[in-house]
Chain A
Amino acid sequence: MTAAARIPSALEPSRREFYVGLLRQMVLVRRFEERAAEAYALGRIGGFCHLYIGQEAVATGAIAALRGDDYLFTSYREHAHALVRGTPARAVMAELFGKATGCSGGKGGSMHLFDAERGFLGGHAIVGSHIPIAAGAAFAIKSRATDQVAACFFGEAAVNIGAFHETLNMAALWGLPAIFICENNRYGMGTALERAAAVYDIAHRACSYDMASETADGMDVLAMHDVVARAAQRAREDKLPTLIEARTYRYMGHSMADPIHGHYRTKEELEEQKSRDPIDQLARQLRQADLLDDDGFKTLKHSVEEEVEDAVRFSEESPEPELSELYTDVYRA
């Protein structure tokens, strides 16, 4: 696989606030995930915990191109999407800790974050299962004739499961306002895409369904923003779906229970990929354009540090759910 060609986006000084906002969100996600890893090691977070470090540009750029009333669906590597959407770091971290103050009341955990108020509709942990679900929200949008969009984030390993193909077929057939964003981080757990897929240029999969598609540099937040903005316009105005392949990379193991490198990838490959780091790239571009100096970046990082520390403290101090909560929310009254 060749990395998508990277043409540095020309920064417009008038959009400084927008760029710095994206940078801050990516730094927030990175720092949040680092602290989650520490809390996991200390046993504060249990079960499976899949970190997003390395992939920050995808969720950050994509969600910045969407509206607040659009619907978001994600897989289980979704702390970032919730944070970028605006779910407070406190509520996300508290959910990882399983606390009553978590965004799913402690019943969902790392893989099942939900924030209905912000149209963040999960947090789904069966690979590919949320792809048709997102199309269902798009069907509802079409049925109600609004100009919202349903966006669905999934890993590249999901493109080999039947739900992906069934959904893309129906989304194209019916003209559903959906954006399918494949976060190609190159490995489904420990299996390289090339070892799992006959066609590994994922955007090409859209040809089967006569669907629009684009490949984007998933390490470039501005490229991600632009590609999703085009797809959103296509969904809102033309009522057509798009498949986007975001070429990205995860720095951590598949989950906290898995090795960072080993049998399936080398340390050298990992280090090489880090040279494309999405945060470094944007920070460098901002510095070069005189839009954010070192002091400014330091201040930004400091404010993120405070926000994440506050989230950890809040989560530690928050109460466990009452035992009576065991039997609530099974059925709606």
Chain B
Amino acid sequence: MPTITYRDALNQALREEMHRDPAVFLMGEEVGVYQGAYKVSRGLLEEFGPMRVVDTPIAELGFAGIGVGAAMVGMRPVIEFMTWNFALLAIDQVVNSAAKILYMSGGQIPVPIVFRGPGGPALQLGAQHSQALESWFAHVPGLKVVAPATPYDAKGLLKSAIRDGNPIVFLEGEMLYNTKGEVPEGEYTIPLGSADVKREGADLTLVCHSKSVAVALKAAEQLQHEHDLAAEVVDLRTLRPLDVATLVASVRKTNRCVVVEEGWPLGGVGAQVVDELQREAFDDLDAPILRVTGADVPMPYNKHLERAAKPGPDRVIEAAKRVAYREG
């Protein structure tokens, strides 16, 4: 099976879906001539032409709205935000238009659109370019929110997102574009709303998504070798709808859980996971669930401060030991 980057897996998904359905088009800043700020759209302008790979001015609110209108009349827009930080300028279109038009119209008018781009803390980009905003969007009924962690998942989930028919917020990990993984050559899709057990284990469950999956896997290796604890790593993959069944099944097995995310603690994705688990698996829990989140501060620039603000393997290991009552 070929090993490719997360970036190229997304590129394959876009190319294949654009071949499959002439209604699919890609629109955003630098997606065409420049080949994508992160090169996700490399080669697509040459292959599909400027009506299907559309360079825009820096006008997030405007081109997000253009995507919504095109979707309302039957196109399948993929709107690229250069980063999700800039999508905040367009949040009215995502939340007040895309997410609500099907409902407000009494089911008459679907909005089949994908808003995608990189998100999550990066490296020394400072407070405005380095943050995880997925819980903002996961809060909103009418949206589906996807955050893949591996090249395989990125490709299969983006293809499903484009075909889904609902407005999708697709958050790519900015730090994941160069990561590599096996991706089969043939056609495949991954259903939205399905979590994936990335590593099996019997002693505790680590719940994570996007970049934090790599953090959890690293922590799990160390927990195994240094503390003889077998951690199961559950990658949420989709944050709305949340695959509660897979979470509950894992916690029923391990009886202990730590939720890891890059976002801030208050109202974060982990807060929802904890809520679901305390209701659905209360009797199975042998310890309170702990959360490892980004520090509750705007992201600092300084390298040392930045490292301290991100949820690294050390903090996951510390939390895992606590839920396993392995203090000290």
Contact = CB atoms under 8 A, between A and B. Distances in A.
Given A104-B106, A116-B109, A136-B70, A167 B25 contact: no
Interface in A123-156: 123-124, 126, 129-143, 150
B72 A163 contact: no
16 contacts: A104-B106, A106-B106, A107-B105, A112-B104, A115-B108, A121-B72, A130-B65, A132-B61, A135-B69, A136-B70, A137-B73, A140-B70, A169-B57, A173-B57, A328-B107, A329-B106
Contacts of B101: 114, 122
B69 A136 contact: yes
Given A108-B106, A132-B62, A332 B56 contact: no
A162 B60 CA distance: 10
Contacts of B109: 114, 116, 121-122
Contact of A332 (B63, B68, B74, B110): B110
B102 A132 contact: no
User: What are the 10 tightest A-B residue pairs by CB atom distance, in nearest-first order?
Assistant: A136-B69, A132-B65, A105-B106, A166-B62, A114-B105, A329-B107, A133-B69, A166-B59, A136-B66, A116-B108
B73 to A, nearest CB: 5
Contacts of A166: 57, 59, 61-63
Interface string B187-213: 000000000000000000000000000
Interface of A: 71, 73, 102-108, 112, 114-116, 121-124, 126, 129-143, 150, 162-163, 166-167, 169-170, 173, 328-332
Interface residues of B, number: 42
A170 B73 CA distance: 19
A170 B66 contact: yes
B160 to A, nearest CB: 14
Contact of B62 (A104, A167, A328, A332): A167
A124 B97 CA distance: 8
Nearest to A152: B69
B268 to A, nearest CB: 23
Interface of B: 25, 51-52, 56-57, 59, 61-75, 77, 92-93, 96-97, 101-110, 112, 141-142, 144, 165-166
Contacts of B74: 140
A150 B75 CA distance: 15
A159 to B, nearest CB: 14
Contacts of B166: 331-332
B262 to A, nearest CB: 27
